[in-house]
Chains A and B, each alone.
Chain A
Amino acid sequence: MKMKRLLALSLTLALTVTTFSGCGKSQEAAINSQSSMQEVMAKFPIKNTNDAPSIKGGVLKVAVVSASAFEGIFNPCFSDNQPDADIYQWFMENVLSADENFVFDQDGAATYTYDQTAKTMTLKLKDGIKWHDGQPVTLDDLVYAYEIICDKDYEGMRYDEQFTNIVGVEEFHAGKAKTISGLELSADKMTLTIKFKNFFPSILVGGIWIAPIPRHYYEEIPVKEMKAHEKSRKTPIGFGPFKIKSIVSGESVELVRNDDYYLGAPKLAGVTLTVIAPDLVPAAMEEGKFDIALFSQQQYPDYKEPKNFSYLGQLQTVFNYTAFKLGKWDQKNNKNIYDPNSKMANVKLRQAIGYAVDNDKIAKELYNGLRFLATTVVTPRHAAYQNTEIAGYTYDPEKAKKLLDEAGYKDVNNDGYREDPNGKSFSITWATMDGEGADTYAQFKIQNWKDVGLKVELYNGRLTEFNAFYDAVEHDDPKIDMYDGAWQTGFDPNPKNLWGPDSSANYTRYTSDTLDAIMSDISSEKAWDKAFLSEKYHAFQQVFFDEAPAIPTMWRMGLEAVNNRVKNYEVTSFDIKCFAHLIELTAEAPMKKADVK
C-alpha cells in the first residue's frame, strides 16, 4: 500500500452548515479527545453482526463512490487511482496477507521466512492455486511483475526504493542485465528468494511488491503497450474469489464466483460494482440500491440512525498537519537544507501556533466527531509504534501567549497584533486547500491565531486549489510561511520519507541532528530488535513534538455503510486479509428504509 497526499478537506457537496460558538477551553482536550476516540470506535465496529439465516448465493451490490468515471486499468503495476484499486481487489489477490499491525503474516497464498544476516526473504507459494483461466499460479508470475515495473520502458509510479533496494534491479532497469539477479526462483517456480541491499524491518511491513501478474496471459506484449492493452482493460484475470463477467467502461463491473478459489468457493454468487456520485450515497443506501458504500463524514450527521443499514468504521492511517517552511530543497544533492534564520525558525513561535488552535473543536464540530485531535504524526492505527505519552498541541491560548512573549514577539504598537522581536510588523502567510467547509476551517483557525495576537494571512489572499497548492509547497514558494496538508501513510509508519533529510516530500525542509539520527536508526538493521525499534519510534515522536517542524492536527475515522442483509463483512481491506469468499447475504434484495419498522 502506498503513501499519498490527501485533500485536507473532503470535496463533497453535503449541505452541512457548522457554526462555531464561543471559545472552548480545555487543558484536558487530549484526554477528552482520546476518550472520544474510544467512544467513536466503540460506536462503529470493524465487523458487522447479522444473525439471520443466510440465503444461498446472492449478488452483493457494492458502490464505487467517485465523482468521475473509473479509469479502468485493472493491472496493479499501472493503476494509480483509488476507484480502480477498490474494484480489482475483488478479483486480484496478493501472494501475502498482513496482520493487524500491517506486518506480513503466513495466512495468504504464500508463506515466508527471512534471514537477517543473508539479507534475504524467501516466499513459498501454496500448491493448487489457479488463475481464472485455469493455469497454475507460480512465483514466476511475481517475478514477472518485478520485471514489468523495473523495465526501462515502464512509465508508472511504482518504481521506487522498494525495488531499487533489491540486488540487481538497477542493472536490469539500465538494460545491463536480462534478469534481476536478486530474485532467485526455484526449479518448480514455487519458491522465490529475494535478496536485498539493505534489510530492515520496514520490508516486512508492506515493504515488498506482492501482486503477481500472469506471465502466460500477457505472453509477449511489450511493457509499453501493456497499460492500454485489453488484457489490462477488458479481460483482466487474477486468482481472487471472484472473476470478471463483464465491464462497462468507466461505470460498472460484474463479477461471478470463482469456484476454484484456493480458500474455498465463495458463498456469494457474484458481486456488482457500480460508480455513484458521492452526493447520492445516503439516499441510495436508504433506498437499498447498494449493500456497501463508503460514507462521507459530512453526510453522516443527517443519517445518524439509519434503519436499513449500519455503519462500520476504522481508524485511517491519515493525519492532518500544519507545517512550517524552514529551508530549501537542494536539487543537486537531493537534500533538505534547514535555514536557521528563516521566518518561522523560532521553535517557541511554532509551538505557540500549535497551542493557539482548538483542533479538538474543529474535529468535533466541522467533522462531526469523526476526526480527533492528533497528538503525534504516527496515527493510532499504528498503535504498536505510537507514543501515547505525548499530550500533543492541545488548545491552550494562555500558553501560546506566554511562549510568544518569551520568544520576543510582543505587541509594541498596540494594534492587537504582535510585532517580531525587532519590533517590525509581523504577519504569517498560510497556504491551505480549497474544499467543502474549507472557508469555515480557515476562518476559525485565523481567528484562533488572532486571539493570541498573531496575524495570519491566506496565501494569495484565498484558499488554494489542490494542484496549485502542492505545486507551490513543493517548489518552496518563498511567500509561504506555513501550510496545512494531510498525509496517508500506508502500511509502514516509517517517518523517513515524510520528514527525512533527503526526502523531497519533506516540504518543511527541516532537518536536525537528533531527528535525523533517530530516523536513520528506525531504518537500520538494529531495528530488528523490537524494543529498540519501539524506543526509537517513541523518541522520534517526542523530538518531533519538541522541535515542531509540523503540528499534527487531526486523525480520522473512515465510515462504511453496510446494508442489513450483509453477513460476515468487515471494513478491513482485502490487501490485508482475504475474507471476500466468506461474505454472505440474508435476503434476496438489499433492505429499504421502508421495509424496516
Chain B
Amino acid sequence: MWKTILRRLLVLIPQVAVLSLLVFILASFMPGDALTGKIDPNVSPERLEELREKWGFYDPWYVKYGRWVTDALSGDLGESTSYKIPVTELIGNRAANTFWLSLLTLGITYIIGVSFGVISGRFNGKPVDKAISFYTFLALAMPSIVLGVINIYFFSLKLNWFPMGGTVNVGMQPGTLSYFLSRIHHMLLPAITGGVLYPVGVIQILKSEIVDYKISDFVMTARSKGVPEKTIYTRHILRNAFLPTAANLGYDIAFLLGGSIFIERIFSYPGMGNLFLDSILRRDYAVVNALIILFAVLTVLGTLISDIIMSAVDPRIRIK
C-alpha cells in the first residue's frame, strides 16, 4: 500500500505542473491587472509603466511562469499586490481560520447526517422518515447565503446569542481561555449554518444503503437465525452501509481548506473562500494562482485519502 501512496503522490507532480500552466495561461486572458481598480489620474502614465515594468506585468506568460516556478520551488509564492505581504503568509493566516471553521462545520454535518441517515433508513416510510425527507428537501433548496442572513437576524441581532461575524471579540488577548472561547463562539453560527445545509448527501446515501441492505440475503439469514434486531443493525447493516459515506470523507479534506465563499462572506469571516473571491476581483494574480493550485492539490490528496479509508474499512478492496 505504501508503494501505491508514493506512486499517487508522484503522479501529483505532473498534475500540478499541467494545472499551474493552465492557470497561468488563463490568468493572462483576464482583463485588467492589479492597478486597474486603483488608477488615480494624478499618477503619471510613466509612473504606472514603471510599476508595471517592475512587477513584470508586461512579461509574456511563459517568462512569468518560469519565474513563478523557480520561486515556488524555493517556497516563495510571490507577494499579494493588494495585501502587500507574501502570499504564503497571507494564505497561512486565512487557512487556519478556514480550517477550524470547516472542521466544526464538518463535525456538525456528520453528526446530523449520520444520525438522520440511520434513523431514516431504519424507519423507512414512517413519519420520522418523512420528516427527515422534508428537512433534506428544505436544506437542498435553501441557499447558504439566505440561511446565513436569517440566522444572523434571529440569533445575533434579535436573540443576541451569537456575534454577527468575525473570528474573535475586539480586544481579546491571544492565548487566553477567553480568547479561545470567543473564537469558538464566533465559529458556531457560521458552522451551524453550513452544518444544517450540507448533510443532505450523507443522509440520502446512508438511507438508501440501509434500505438496500435491510432486504439483502445475509440480513434475512441473520434475522431468520434469530439475531436480535439491534445486532443486525450494528453488525451487519451499518458496517456495510457506511462504506460510501466513509469514502466521501476524503473528499471533504478539500472542502476543509477550500472554505465556503458564501458563508465566509456573509459572516465577514476572514477565510480562504473570502480571500479567493477578493483576489479575483482585485486581480491579485499571485494569490489566485496559489489558491487554485492549492485547491487542486487538496482535491487529489482527498481522493487518495478516500481510497485509503476504503481499503482500511473494506477488506475486499485493496489498492494495488
B93 CB-CB contact with A under 8 Å? yes
16 residue pairs of the A-B complex, CB under 8 angstroms, read A4-B38, A5-B37, A69-B275, A73-B83, A80-B38, A155-B54, A160-B42, A164-B44, A248-B166, A254-B170, A274-B166, A276-B164, A279-B149, A468-B32, A470-B36, A472-B31
| Alpha-carbon gap, A78 to B84, bound state (A) | 9
B320 CB within 8 Å of chain A: no
Q: Give the chain A neighbours of B131 by CB distance below 8 A.
A: none
What 1/0 mask marks residues of chain A from 141 to 164 whose CB sits below 8 Å from any chain B CB?
Answer: 000000000000001010111101
A81 adjacent to chain B (CB < 8 Å): yes
Residue among B41, B44, B167, B173 with max Cβ neighbours from chain A (10 Å): B41
Within residues 30 to 62 of chain B, which ones have a CB less than 8 A from any CB in chain A? 30-33, 35-48, 51, 54-55
Q: A81-B82, A277-B265, A467-B37 are in contact. Are A334 and B170 (CB under 8 A)?
A: no
**B166 adjacent to A252 (CB under 8 Å):** yes
A244-293 at interface with B (beta carbon < 8 Å): 245-246, 248-254, 272, 274-277, 279-280, 283-284, 286-287, 289
Q: Please name the residue on chain B nearest to A334 by beta carbon.
A: B45
Task: Give bound CA distance, A204 to B158, whole Å.
Answer: 50
B4, CB-defined interface residue at 8 Å:
no
Does A248 lie within 8 Å of B281, measured CB to CB?
no
Contact B157 A228 (CB under 8 A): no
Does A228 lie within 8 Å of B86, measured CB to CB?
A: yes
Listed in ascending order, the chain B residues whose CB lies under 8 Å from chain A are 30-33, 35-48, 51, 54-55, 82-86, 93, 149, 152-153, 157-158, 164-168, 170-173, 265-268, 270, 274-275, 277-278, 281, 283
B47 neighbours in A (Cβ, 8 Å): 159-160
A161, A331, A467: the one contacting B44 at CB < 8 Å is A161
Measured between beta carbons, the chain B residues less than 8 angstroms from A4 are 38-40
On whether A289 and B171 interact (CB within 8 A), knowing A227-B84, A277-B265, A471-B36, the answer reads no
**Which chain A residues border B275 with CB–CB below 8 Å?**
69
**Structural contact, B166 and A275, CB atoms closer than 8 A:** yes
Q: Which residue from chain B places its CB closest to the CB of A273 in the assembled complex?
A: B170
Asked if A497 CB lies within 8 Å of chain B CBs, one says yes
**Nearest B-chain residue to A475, judged by Cβ:** B31
Q: Is A12 an interface residue (CB 8 A)?
A: no
In chain A, positions 420-453 with a C-beta closer than 8 Å to chain B are none
Among A80, A272, A498, the most chain B Cβ lie within 10 Å of the Cβ of: A80
**Listed residue (B31, B84, B149) with the most chain A CB atoms within 10 angstroms of its CB:** B84
Q: Is the CB of A277 within 8 A of B41?
A: no
User: Bound state CA distance, A300 and B32, in angstroms?
Assistant: 33
| Top 7 A-B pairs, shortest CB-CB distance | A467-B32, A505-B41, A497-B41, A468-B31, A471-B32, A471-B31, A69-B270
A384 contacts the other chain (CB 8 A): no
**Can you name 10 extra interface pairs (CB under 8 A) apart from A233-B85, A248-B166, A471-B32?**
A5-B37, A251-B167, A277-B165, A280-B164, A289-B157, A334-B46, A466-B281, A467-B31, A470-B37, A504-B45
Residues on A with beta carbons closer than 8 Å to the beta carbon of B164: 276, 280, 284, 289
> A505 contacts B39, CB within 8 Å?
yes
A3 at the interface (CB under 8 A from B): yes
State which of A80, A162, A254, A498 has its C-beta within 8 Å of the C-beta of B41. Answer: A498
Q: A279 to B152: give the CA distance in the assembly, Å.
A: 11
A246–B85 CA distance with the chains assembled, in angstroms: 20
Residues of B within 8 A of A279 (CB): 149, 266
Check if A2 sits within 8 Å of B40, measured CB to CB: yes
Q: Give the distance to chain A from B287, nearest Cβ to Cβ, in Å.
A: 12
A233 to B44, CA, bound (A): 28
**Distance, CA A314 to CA B229, complexed state (A):** 73
* Contact of A67 with B by CB under 8 A: yes
- On chain B, the residues within 8 Å of A228 by CB distance are 84-86
Known: A228-B84, A470-B36. A503 touches B41 (CB 8 A): yes
Tell me the complex Cα distance, A503–B51, Å. 18
Residues in chain B near residue A253, CB distance under 8 A: 170
User: By the criterion CB–CB under 8 Å, are B42 and A2 in contact?
Assistant: yes
A251 & B45 in contact (Cβ 8 Å cutoff): no
**Whole-angstrom CA separation of A5 from B158 in the bound complex:** 38
Partner of A467, one of B48, B173, B267, B283: B283
In the complex the two chains form, is B167's CB within 8 Å of A160's CB? Answer: no
Is A71 among interface residues, defined by CB-CB distance under 8 A?
Answer: yes
**With a CB–CB cut-off of 8 A, which chain B residues contact A5?**
37, 39
Residue of A at shortest CB range from B282?
A467
Residues of A within 8 A of B157 (CB): 283-284, 286-287, 289
Given contacts A2-B42, A80-B38, A472-B31, contact A68 B266 (CB under 8 A): no
B274 touches A69 (CB 8 A): yes
The distance in angstroms between the C-alpha atoms of A503 and B39, with both chains bound, is 12
Q: Kindly identify which residue among B32, B85, B278 contacts A470, using a CB–CB cutoff of 8 Å.
A: B32
Contact of B42 among A161, A251, A272 (CB under 8 A): A161
CB A31 to nearest CB in B, in angstroms, measures 32
Can you name the residue of chain A whose Cβ is closest to the Cβ of B277?
A68
- Whether A71 contacts B265 by the Cβ 8 Å rule is no
Contact of A276 among B85, B93, B165, B170 (CB under 8 A): B165
**Cα(A284)–Cα(B267), bound, Å:** 13
Partner among B37, B85, B168 whose Cβ is within 8 Å of the Cβ of A251: B168
Task: Give the complex CA separation of A504 and B83 in angstroms.
Answer: 27
